Amino acid sequence: MGCEHRQQSDPLQLPKVPRLLLIADDPVARPLTAALSVAAGLQLHNRGRLAEARAALAAGAFDAILLAPTNLDPDTAAQVAEIRTAAPGLPLIVVLPAHDPGLTARLTTAGADLVLLPPLDAAALAATLLRLLPAPAAAPAAPAPVAAPSPQPPNAAPAGGGKTPSELEVLRDFSPVLGYSLDYRQLTQQFVLKLREVIGVARIAIFLETPAGPAAPEHAPPSEHLTCAAAAGVTRDLIDCVELTRRSGIGRHITRHAQVLRGDDPAAMDDPQARREFEVLGCQVALPVNDRERTIGAALIGGRVTGGAFTDAELRLVYHLLEELGLAIKNSWLHAQVAASQRLFSDVIGAVTSGCLAIGADLAVLHTNRAFLNFLRGGPGSGARVDFTELPRLLAAALHDLVERDRLAEPFFLTSDKTPGRSWRVSLVPFPNPERRLPQPALALVEDFTQIQSVQRAEIEASNSRLLALIAKRFAHEIRNALVPLTTHHQLLDTDYDSPGFRDSLKTALGRETGRIQRFTEQMLFLSQPAGPAEDLVPVATLIEQSCARAARALGLEPWLVLEGDATAALVRVHRPGFAHALDEIFLNGLQAAPGAPMRVHLATDGGRLTLRFRDAGPGLTAEVAARAAEPFFTTRATGVGLGLTVARRIVEQHAGRLEVRARSGPDDADVVLDLPLC
């Protein structure tokens, strides 16, 4: 008996796609990638440095290398030598940014197979790359058969009973499926119908994970359950009650291994869940649906309509077709997410009360919402597109400067003839591109500030009214206190004038009360006008002694001052009347706290600054009172209007100084600290 030996051919095996490693920085890689994208039959992988691709080179992941340096750098020859050492057998092409004969010679010596100069022709470059690639190894010859096989006519079916169409025929048959690429369910259903026709099977079902919604986190884990997205030859009620899971059965095997699983494989026979799923769906083979990054689903295929088995070549072709389907499904999901996000964004922008105007890099109006149309046209309008020339001149100029020159204007106000009596606040927001190139898109936000400004004006008016009422109340109170003793003496003037005691009392009352009115008048004047120029150079100790004496006389006390520190001879340049009034106010507060007791002032210098620390003999201020002591009209006494320390702080600040009122925490702490620059 003769023995026949035949090497089985693989008519459906896909050809190898050459992989090109491009070593270039991003500004150079982008135009090269765009140019080479027109060349069919190349996979391009860009890396910025050789170090980023060493592991892939060692694993034989690339078929050729293209080096594109940014500048004419002498170190490029060393880089070529390094690449040649890392990949001694791969074709190496160098694309220089300009002509340099000396560098070209060094690169060739270092190991470059070809050095190219701009301008580059994409088709010629691709053809050159393909010619430099090593020719694929020829298939080993089949041993001579003992008995010649009987000839088969063209397009004959294999022993298993399935078709053996060429790859071009398969691509032609599946090309109509691409018309459904924006709807992944219709795309999958059309793919199922076409695949069923091509490989001649009874039933097919494709299970996919649930696509992420527009609000899903960027790195959200995939869904655990795989539901049927399309099927042929399987009843609807069966599809509705069957789903796969990544945790067990066919879904677990497909997700973990991304390999073809036959129903009679040991992995399936030993898994009760997988065996049950094959039986329920009436299928014989399960294949993964990949998107070239991960498994997004599984395809279950039943037996042939003729009863034959699937060959490995057929399953490989189906595997790769399903991979292309997975990539198309992923792109469809991404498109749906982008579309949903855009609709959501448009709905949100349209519903906000602020007007929104989106401007493209070419100054074209990309989007306007209802609020902006109300600002621009006085109403939502007829829905006609807004042209850039229709914008108010001030807004158009600000947008032009931002888009073309990256000059961001501060928020400003506009009025519109279409909305008289309304005030609109405009804020601009740039949207720079990753390369920070100009021109750039921008967004204009237009807010109706009419009501806000009205409320602000009303609040200011109300605040002014409250302030005027408080000033009037304090003024009337202080004047009334001064008039009471004067009115009393006026009533007794006719009967008691001859009495020496009455005349002394009248003289004292006149001096004290007119002094009170004079002090209040000066406080109001210092609050209402700036201090005079600081042109007087005087010893600070003299000013302190004179102010203490004036304050003591105003209160009918004897002055008692203790000067301490190493800066009693310091000179200060001040506006003497104003600064003296500030010191008077500090001493008046201190002497009122402890009448007849000494006032202590400590003077010290530090880094060109003079510090005066005032301490009276009283109990000191609480933290709450110290925090408010310099507020206008704040007082804890029955007399006075509460402007003394307010005026003192204002005068000190006009002399480039600081005044602090403090609560005591220790026995030697100051009540008031005044800091001034030395002359």
Domain ranges of the chain: 19-132, 167-337, 352-447, 455-516, 530-677
Q: Please give the single-letter amino acid code of residue 324.
A: E
Taking residues 101-115, report their average pLDDT.
87
Phi first, then psi: what are they for 658, rounded to 5°?
A: -135, 145
Superfamily of domain 167-337: GAF domain (3.30.450.40)
N- to C-terminal Cα separation, the chain: 125
Name the helix (H) or strand (E) containing 660.
strand 658-661
Q: pLDDT (tens digit, 9 = 90+) per residue, 53-98?
A: 887 777 676 888 888 888 888 888 889 999 998 888 888 888 888 8
Q: pLDDT (tens digit, 9 = 90+) per residue, 207-253?
A: 999 887 665 565 667 788 899 999 998 887 777 778 898 988 999 99
| Domain spanning 352-447, CATH class | alpha beta
Question: How far is Cα of residue 575 from the mean position of the Cα atoms in its chain?
Answer: 52
Taking residues 549-561, report their average pLDDT.
87
pLDDT of residue 603: 92
Question: What are the start-end ranges of the E strands in 11-99?
Answer: 19-23, 43-47, 64-67, 92-95
- Tell whether the model's pLDDT for residue 569 goes beyond 70: yes
Quickly count: other Cβ atoms within 10 Å of residue 146's Cβ: 10
Per-residue DSSP letter, 181? T
Q: Please give the single-letter amino acid code of residue 667.
A: P
Quickly count: other Cβ atoms within 10 Å of residue 513's Cβ: 18
CATH 3.30.565.10 applies to domain 530-677: yes
484 or 260: which leads in pLDDT: 260
612: confidence class by pLDDT, cuts 50, 70, 90: very high
Q: How far is CA 413 from CA 87, 376, 575, in A?
A: 65, 14, 42
Sign of CA dihedral 151, 156, 161, 163: positive
**Which burial class, exposed, middle or buried, applies to 284 when counting CB atoms under 10 A from its CB (0-12, 13-18, 19+)?**
buried
Q: Nearest CA to 181 among 348, 325, 41, 309? A: 325
Q: What percent of the chain has pLDDT over 70?
A: 83
Question: How far is Cα of residue 81 from the mean position of the Cα atoms in its chain?
Answer: 43
Q: How does the average pLDDT of the chain come out, rounded?
A: 80
pLDDT of residue 156: 40
**Cβ–Cβ under 8 Å, residues 313 and 12:** yes
pLDDT of residue 167: 55
Return the bridge partners of 287, or none: 299
Phi first, then psi: what are they for 271, rounded to 5°?
A: -110, 105
Distance CA 661, CA 615 (A): 11
Q: Nearest CA to 69 among 121, 24, 117? A: 24
Sign of CA dihedral 188, 191, 193, 196: negative
Q: Nearest CA to 372 among 409, 420, 340, 416? A: 416
Q: How far is CA 437 from CA 403, 433, 525, in A?
A: 10, 6, 58
Q: Of 5-14, 19-28, 198-207, 578-587, which gets the smallest average pLDDT?
A: 5-14
Q: Which residues, including other chains, have CB under 8 Å from residue 467's CB and lie 6 or more apart?
A: none
**Which burial class, exposed, middle or buried, applies to 574 when counting CB atoms under 10 A from its CB (0-12, 13-18, 19+)?**
buried
Q: At what angle do helices 450-491 and 500-528 cross, to 10 degrees?
A: 170
Taking residues 457-482, report their average pLDDT.
73
Q: Which residues, including other chains, have CB under 8 Å from residue 651's CB and lie 6 or more apart?
A: 526, 531, 578, 579, 581, 582
Question: How far is Cα of residue 213 from the mean position of the Cα atoms in its chain?
Answer: 21
Name the helix (H) or strand (E) containing 397.
helix 393-405
603 or 38: which leads in pLDDT: 603
**Cβ–Cβ under 8 Å, residues 342 and 38:** no
Both tokens assigned to 432: 């720079």
- Tell whether the model's pLDDT for residue 189 goes beyond 60: yes
pLDDT of residue 10: 41
Distance CA 125, CA 120 (A): 7
Both tokens assigned to 23: 């070593």
Distance CA 132, CA 647 (A): 89
Q: Tell me whether the CATH fold assigned to 19-132 matches the one assigned to 530-677.
A: no
Has this prediction a pTM greater than 0.85? no
pLDDT of residue 369: 84
Phi first, then psi: what are they for 521, rounded to 5°?
A: -65, -45
**Which burial class, exposed, middle or buried, applies to 422 when counting CB atoms under 10 A from its CB (0-12, 13-18, 19+)?**
middle
CATH 3.40.50.2300 applies to domain 19-132: yes
8: confidence class by pLDDT, cuts 50, 70, 90: very low
pLDDT of residue 146: 39
Q: Which residues, including other chains, have CB under 8 Å from residue 107's CB and lie 6 or more apart?
A: 76, 77, 80, 94, 115
pLDDT of residue 289: 93
Quickly count: other Cβ atoms within 10 Å of residue 339's Cβ: 12
Q: pLDDT (tens digit, 9 = 90+) per residue, 144-171?
A: 443 433 343 334 444 444 444 555 566 5
Name the helix (H) or strand (E) containing 676.
strand 672-677
Per-residue DSSP letter, 638? S
pLDDT of residue 166: 57
179: confidence class by pLDDT, cuts 50, 70, 90: low
